[in-house]
A = this chain, B = another copy of it.
């Protein structure tokens, strides 16, 4: 926990002396939260400000409150986020559920109304580039039980801890050097992808033939950002992806997810989505289809894509061959797309920026794998293989 905390503070968020440091956390994640606070204060933070969200309280709300009120969030939560930007704070969020089955039995339509702890201000906060931030996984016993069912509780937690240590490269002698090396690889791929000037990307595999159109201003990006003041930070640990913002109007075809996804505290397996003119028009799943159907009804853009990400077979998450039921990890296992809110920072040019997805949801799902071929169509019409058998072809 202490090494993970140091990585989050010193490398991920790259906390600067004198900064306020927000930690988005939950009851049940005390150990890592406190280790992060300790590391941040040791590094000279001015104030560490944990923001604790309790899903049990949310469950009471979903069970008893008037559905009409479920979208309501007191103003101060969103404004706190915007003010983190105004004061130039650092922010660290902890992924990983404490009680994965807590929301079972709750109507998915209600879950789609109450998006907390997600706040709509988090998009503008990221776009504003005033906050150096990161998201890191926090192993918990409940999460471990879900990842390693049938394994004794202590052993499951130990295994999850080891998996996270491996995936976050904490098992390396010099984790920061290992991350610098991987990020340099991803950055080189990013440059080559941008040089290709792609018009669209096609995924072909079992149950999948999907074409995702790009905007002229779509720029491939890695999860290493810089604030306007030049503080370089790695926004996801782990990160294995090169991603961009697609044209929300040009997704066509059918896609089958290659991993389960876990959203609104609900598991969705065997997901199949058909897109027409950019919109998800059919959603089927072995389990949990209603949850996603509820979410894409939330607003006008919720059924359109907001992200396209490519992940190669060197991903440590992918190589672990483990389903983590956690987007931060699972999205870094394989190429993926996301319904909902797009990153403006992947777009060059005001005109294209005005077109990107502005939904309040953002739901990643994994569609890549060794048996999914990824091919680029250049604006000049040339067809370029991008990934074959999980290996870059460019």
Contact = CB atoms under 8 A, between A and B. Distances in A.
Interface string A191-225: 00000000000000000000000000000000000
A87 B74 CA distance: 9
Interface string A1-40: 0000000000000000000100000010010011001100
B47 A34 contact: no
Interface string A365-392: 0000000000000000000000000000
Interface residues of A, number: 36
A246 to B, nearest CB: 35
A49 B33 contact: no
A75 interface: yes
Nearest to A68: B46
Number of copies: 2
Contacts of A60: 34, 37-38, 41, 48
Contact of A54 (B30, B64, B65, B87): B30
A65 B56 CA distance: 33
Nearest to A43: B64
A277 interface: no
Contact of A64 (B41, B69, B79): B41
A315 to B, nearest CB: 33
Lowest 6 A-B CB distances belong to which pairs? A52-B52, A41-B64, A37-B57, A38-B60, A76-B80, A34-B56
Interface of A: 20, 27, 30, 33-34, 37-38, 41-42, 44-50, 52, 54, 56-57, 60-61, 63-66, 69, 72-76, 79-80, 83, 87
